[in-house]
Amino acid sequence: MPRIRVSNILIVLVFALATLGAQPLDLTQRYLLLATARTTTMQHELNEAAAAGYRVLGGAHQTGDEGDGQLMVLLEKVTHPPEIYRYQLLETQLTSTMQRELDQFASQAFRLLPGSMIGGRGELVLLLEKAPGASDTFDYRLLATNRTGTLQKELSDAAGKGYQVVGMISRNENIVILERPAR
């Protein structure tokens, strides 16, 4: 008789409890609002919605009374499988980690969605999209500082190298994200 480890039982219980209260997504609506405190849940629901033909319109972070909150992403049904968009949710507190992750997915033809850069609770959350059949790649540059003079100088330098601003987000610091077609 095989031995069952306590750790295996705990993993199954945690998964069962996490999915117990989960409601199935209503993928028949024109608009779909996803909201969760967990980025892993958001990534799963984004994949499910994208497979049904939804495309992201924008995102936000809703702060709760306790300083916690949830990620919210609004989608619209615009396409039919197999012509679907793909999404990747990136979350970190370190801009250097975010730069590496952006570079990794940009090399796979994912592109940053400007209306979905979310800051809150100290973390930085970015949503990337890959259009059906996309093959163009982009280079990204994150500028992060609390000093406006420094940010202005770095913006000017990046613009001189062909970068264009995709968006700006603030949390513990001001972050500007730029892109240019990959060379």
Any domain includes 163: yes
For CA atoms 23, 25, 31, 33, the dihedral sign is positive
Any domain includes 52: yes
Residue 173 CA to residue 169 CA, distance in Å, equals 8
Facing residues of 60 across strands? Answer: 72
Any domain includes 3: no
Q: Report whether pLDDT(18) > 70.
A: no
Indicate the SS3 state at residue 108. coil
Residue 116 CA to residue 48 CA, distance in Å, equals 18
Provide the residue range defining the domain that includes 29: 25-181
Band (pLDDT 50/70/90 cuts) for residue 130 is very high
Q: What is the pTM of this model?
A: 0.77
Any domain includes 75: yes
pLDDT, mean of residues 122-143: 90
Indicate the SS3 state at residue 99. helix
Contact between residue 99 and residue 142 where contact means Cβ atoms under 8 Å apart: yes
Q: Which one, of 177, 157, 182, lies nearest residue 99 by Cα?
A: 177
Count of domains forming the chain:
1
pLDDT for 71 equals 87
pLDDT for 124 equals 81
Any domain includes 77: yes
Any domain includes 4: no
pLDDT for 114 equals 84
Cα 178 to its chain centre, rounded Å, is: 16
Residue type, 53: G
Any domain includes 15: no
Indicate the SS3 state at residue 146. coil
Any domain includes 8: no
Q: Tens of pLDDT along 51-87?
A: 999 999 988 877 766 656 788 999 999 988 788 999 9
Residue 169 CA to residue 177 CA, distance in Å, equals 8
Other CB atoms closer than 10 Å to residue 78's CB: what's the count?
A: 13
